[in-house]
């Protein structure tokens, strides 16, 4: 599931006429960077939700073969991260699935991070497994940390602790956590906190460079980070 329905308000004026997932960084859209990462680990189908300037996204992915794109239409109302997933559950099915934010991306170093995430997944111990970035391997992140990572991989809220890590916008989720969820807007943070309470929110620190583009002035540093990461690749 690729979350691409947001309004991108902080990216104005660019997003006055262009949905944020279609902003290009180093010649490739944010959305395509996520879809390419899914294709690289063999994902055959991706659900992409749309709300803001939806026709542009629908047209952009129309001819994509890998992964095959299924649109979850939220034109009638924005459902937020968890609400969008709940709406799309009939398209997703009953097995654990990747969730990606369409407005952040990363440059792998070594084995693909999504492949590492899949190998780390353990449904017996986890409801949600988050991909994480250390502060020092992040570009464009202006906030504090999100989580503290314990030795056994479980997560708790960091409350800004500098020893914490950042949620890197990719996860594996078991759809059973949404059983009985009402239709309508809801944030994934609600489900993160519920999983923390039961010890079933886990994390894996990614290898490479994580990049977020929150405002127009973040584009140049993002493109520089891509160039630097690619130049350093073997």
Domain extent listing, the chain: 2-232
Fold topology of 2-232? Spore Coat Polysaccharide Biosynthesis Protein SpsA; Chain A (3.90.550)
pLDDT at res. 231? 80
From CA 187, how far away is CA 18, in angstroms rounded? 24
pLDDT at res. 164? 94
From CA 228, how far away is CA 98, in angstroms rounded? 28
pLDDT at res. 77? 83
Mean pLDDT by 10 residues, the chain (234 residues): 92 94 95 96 95 95 93 89 92 94 92 96 97 91 90 93 94 94 88 96 96 92 90 71
pLDDT at res. 233? 67
pLDDT at res. 229? 83
Residues in the chain: 234
Beta bridge partners of 28: 25
Sign of the CA dihedral running 67, 68, 70, 75: positive
Residue 163's alpha-carbon distances to 73, 80, 146, 166, 195, in angstroms, are 39, 29, 10, 10, 21
CB-based burial label for 160 (10 Å; 0-12, 13-18, 19+): exposed
């Amino acid at each position: 599931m690729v979350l691409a329905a947001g309004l991108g308000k902080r990216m104005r004026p660019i997003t006055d006429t262009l949905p944020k997932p279609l902003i290009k960084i180093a010649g490739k859209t944010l959305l395509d960077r996520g879809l390419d990462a899914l294709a690289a680990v063999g994902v055959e189908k991706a659900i992409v939700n749309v709300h803001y300037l939806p026709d542009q996204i629908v047209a952009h992915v129309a001819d994509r073969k890998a992964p095959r794109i299924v649109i979850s239409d939220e034109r009638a109302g924005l459902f937020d991260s968890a609400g969008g997933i709940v709406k799309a559950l009939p398209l997703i099915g009953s097995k654990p699935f990747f969730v990606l934010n369409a407005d952040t991306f990363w440059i792998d170093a070594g084995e693909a991070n999504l492949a590492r995430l899949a190998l780390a997944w353990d449904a017996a111990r986890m409801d949600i497994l988050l991909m994480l970035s250390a502060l020092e391997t992040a570009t464009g992140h202006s906030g504090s940390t999100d989580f503290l990572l314990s030795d056994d991989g479980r997560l708790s809220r960091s409350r800004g602790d500098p020893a914490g890590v950042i949620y890197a916008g990719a996860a594996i989720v078991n759809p059973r956590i949404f059983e009985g969820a009402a239709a309508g807007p809801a944030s994934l943070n609600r489900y993160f906190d519920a999983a923390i309470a039961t010890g079933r929110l886990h994390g894996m620190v990614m290898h490479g460079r994580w990049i977020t583009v929150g405002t127009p002035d973040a584009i140049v540093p993002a493109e520089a980070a891509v160039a630097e990461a690619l130049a350093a690749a073997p």
